[in-house]
Amino acid sequence: MNDFDLVLPAAVDVREVGMRDGLQLEDPLPLADKLAMLEAIVATGVRRVEVTSFVSPKAVPALADADQVAAELHRFPGVHFSALVANPRGAVRAVDAGVPHLEYVVSAADSHSRANAGRGTAEALAAVGEIAALAHGAGGSLEVVVATAWDCPFDGRTPLTRTVDVARAAVTGGADALCLGDTIGTTTPGRVVRLLDAVRRACPGTPVGVHFHDTRGTGQANALAAVQAGVTQLDASVGGLGGCPFAPGASGNIATEELVWWLADAEVDTGIELAAVLAAAAVTERAVGHPLPSSLYRAGGAPVPRGPVRPS
Amino acid sequence: MNDFDLVLPAAVDVREVGMRDGLQLEDPLPLADKLAMLEAIVATGVRRVEVTSFVSPKAVPALADADQVAAELHRFPGVHFSALVANPRGAVRAVDAGVPHLEYVVSAADSHSRANAGRGTAEALAAVGEIAALAHGAGGSLEVVVATAWDCPFDGRTPLTRTVDVARAAVTGGADALCLGDTIGTTTPGRVVRLLDAVRRACPGTPVGVHFHDTRGTGQANALAAVQAGVTQLDASVGGLGGCPFAPGASGNIATEELVWWLADAEVDTGIELAAVLAAAAVTERAVGHPLPSSLYRAGGAPVPRGPVRPS
């Protein structure tokens, strides 16, 4: 017999990223649809929402309306909104739009950094200080998202020491928090725990969150491992928005409803109501016009439905 | 900082159930296709295969060829084959066909038991002794699969004490091993760990395995929790066969390749080769003629592919 029990934090703070990571590869939505989606997301009880990116509208047409979205955020008091930026120019735009809490992406893998941001990791890191100053000057905060923290679509496995070095440099540069991004959805529980341990040792006192894609079936297992390791900051998107089950390599974030569901069963508080997330997923599905990948949502959402009989 | 590490067994014994649970709701396959699938499965290195059911061909036409399949198993020495039975009549057939290692399903939930086996839980339990005697008399073994161990599609949540009582009665009746079945794919890591603990306390010395369906996105997370709790007997199917991503409530077992993949990253030995599982999934997909639900398989299988660039 093995007297094992899951030891989990009392509460987990989910950041809803469907509005940003979820929508960025979709066809652009009308502002009204986006705001209906945001309204439904806020109604879930989620406390943090990454609401858009201030990036080139040519690169990400779906988020070209970042300023218009930002102008509506006053309607949702009490929610911690943040936005992703790719450089100091984006940080200026975000701050000017009244969104001073920023996520800045630095790819640990050089090839991904060049493909995604047009410059290598070192150059991307060099901008952390300027972006941090812009955020802090506006009363905001800066989280550096270390993309390709585990694997890169071009370079393969990212050496653990490389990710740790990037994380340390980001904190030295002025980041208030870190987020480890499993950009292509390849990491697994064992690797999650190993990297978290190494990054926390290198950056004591800095909160470290995680950002998983459920591309290879282990998204919630990775989340479980991270939460067991004491992580309380997790990204997720309603309906697992961000991918299509039929497009290899383009799968979405871990689904908010799946995360909230098993956390609730384990008595971890998220402040998020499952039924409201499923409702938000339905709003989102109508808005994007295609099925969402979340298994829980596709199964009808009900944890214990009346269903077909099967032997076992 | 939280000095957490995953503590996992050195090895896990996966039971491939694609041939049984995976195929049972499919259109019947020609024997040659089934044997090609079995050949590919054996080539993965898996040590245990639940190869068919000896049940009514009217109830499960897809497995009506159980005897013909059994007659071919001599071609695969060294693999531990077993078959599912629903009553003593099936056990006689299995033993006569040369498959004395049996799984016998008892639904902990009365309504599921009646719908699936045409009798209540108590009556189903009463047959354990006779089936155990048949198996043991033929040099085989009996595992009782406690179906609806967590939830029932009709009765809702199965009380934990009820599942524990069924497990205890099965062992008293002569079962050599137990398997807890998440029949409708609703359980979550916290509930997995709680039930495992209770069943093991009630049945000390009896091996307890788990059988998960990945219907709501937590299949691999459940597997992680179970393995952390010291479970070394897990059911899985190639490609997650057993369901269709578009049919709510009919989702497949956890995918063998996804399980093997994260276990390998965590240095847990399964004896199974990932590339061979993906090859077996391809053989299976051709045989059943529709896409398999496994995310890893759908993503192309490669843990670190070259893929589209995305910000994070």
Predicted ipTM of the assembly: 0.96
Nearest chain A residue to B144, by CA: A312
Rounded distance between C-alpha atoms, residue B88 and residue B135, angstroms: 10
Q: What is the mean pLDDT of residues B35-40?
A: 98
Q: Nearest to residue A103, comparing CAs of A123, A118, A81?
A: A81
Interchain CB contact of B111 with A (< 8 Å):
no
The stretch B46-53 carries a mean pLDDT of: 98
Nearest C-alpha neighbor of B180 from the set B270, B103, B238, B124: B103
Q: How confident is the model at residue B251 (pLDDT cuts 50, 70, 90)?
A: confident
Rg of the Cα trace of chain A? 19
Position A302 scores a pLDDT of 74
Query: What gap in Å lies between CA A166 and CA A182, rounded to an integer?
Result: 15
Is the CB of A255 inside 8 Å of chain B's CB atoms?
yes
Q: Above 70 in pLDDT, residue B165?
A: yes
Residues of B in Cβ contact (< 8 Å) with A110: none
The residue with tokens 């923290």 is A149
Identify the residue among B216, B256, B267, B297 best suited for mutation to test binding to A, counting A beta carbons within 10 A and taking the highest: B216
Least confident among A27-41, A200-214, B1-15, B113-127 = B1-15
DSSP state of A21: I
Rounded mean pLDDT, A37-55: 98
The H-or-E segment that residue A24 falls in is none
- Find how far residue A173's CA is from the centre of its chain: 22
Q: Rounded distance, CA B221 to CA B38, Å?
A: 27
Mean per-residue pLDDT over chain A, rounded: 94
Q: Average pLDDT of B227-254?
A: 82
Nearest to B81 by CA among B110, B104, B106, B103: B103
Q: Give the pLDDT confidence of B254-305 residue by residue, as tens digits.
A: 999 999 999 999 999 999 999 999 999 999 999 999 999 899 998 887 777 6
- Assess contact for A224 and B6: CB atoms under 8 A: no
**A289: contact with B, CB 8 A cutoff:** no
Q: What is the mean pLDDT of residues A202-215?
A: 97
Buried-state track A94-103, b at ≥16 Cβ within 10 A, e below 16 = bbebebbbbb
- CB-CB neighbors (< 8 A) of B4 in chain A: 193, 197, 228-230
B225 contacts A220? CB cut-off 8 A: no
pLDDT for B90-133, tens place per residue? 999 999 999 999 999 999 999 999 998 999 999 999 999 999 99
Instruction: Give A86-99 pLDDT, tens digit per residue.
Output: 999 999 999 999 99
Packed helices A160-173 and A189-202: angle between N→C axes, nearest 10 degrees: 40
Residue type, A156: G
Cβ of A310 and B197 within 8 Å?
no
Mean pLDDT of B192-213: 98
Give the Cα separation of B285 and A137 in Å (integer). Answer: 57
Chain A contact present for B190, CB below 8 A? yes
* pLDDT > 50? residue A244: no
What residue ranges define each of the domains in chain B, with the CATH number in brackets?
13-298 (3.20.20.70)
Render pLDDT for A101-153 as a digit per residue (tens, 0 to 9).
999 999 999 999 999 899 999 999 999 999 999 999 999 999 999 999 999 98
Q: Pick the closest to residue B296 from A225, A241, A219 (CA basis).
A: A219
Contact with chain A for residue B10, Cβ under 8 A: no
Contacts of A294 in chain B (CB under 8 A): 217
pLDDT number for residue B246: 42
Query: Are the Cβ atoms of B307 and A184 closer than 8 angstroms?
Result: yes
Mean pLDDT (whole number) for A267-295: 96
* Closest to A111 (Cα-Cα) out of A164, A165, A154: A154
Q: How far apart are alpha carbons A153 and A109 in whole angstroms?
A: 9
Task: List the structure tokens of A70.
Answer: 């930002």
Burial of B104 from C-beta contacts in 10 A (0-12 / 13-18 / 19+) = buried
Q: Where are the alpha helices (DSSP H) in A203-248?
A: 219-228
d(CA A184, CA A3): 35
Chain A residues 72-101 with a CB less than 8 Å from chain B: 84, 86
A178 close to A209: Cβ distance less than 8 angstroms: yes
Q: Is the pLDDT at B174 greater than 50, yes or no?
A: yes
A310 alpha carbon, distance to own chain's centre: 36
Please answer yes or no on whether A200 and B53 come within 8 Å at the CB atom: no
Least confident segment among A4-18, B210-224, B245-259, B289-303: B245-259
Burial B134-166 (b: 16+ CB within 10 A, else e): bbeebebbbbbbbbbbbbbbbbeebebebbbeb
Please measure the distance between the N-terminal and C-terminal CA atoms of chain A and give it in whole angstroms.
25
Joined tokens for residue B29:
């396959």
Res. A246: pLDDT tops 50: no
Is the Cα torsion angle B22, B28, B29, B35 positive or negative in sign? positive
- Which residues lie closer than 8 Å to B258 by C-beta, 6 or more apart? A216, A217, A218, B219, B220, B240, B294, B295, B296
Joined together, the tokens standing for residue B182 give 């998440």
Q: A248 and B220 in contact by Cβ < 8 A?
A: no
Look at residue A21 and tell me whether its pLDDT is greater than 90: yes
Question: Would residue B244 show up in a list of annotated catalytic residues for this protein?
Answer: yes
Contact A229, B287 (CB under 8 A): no
Q: Is the pLDDT of residue B311 over 60?
A: no
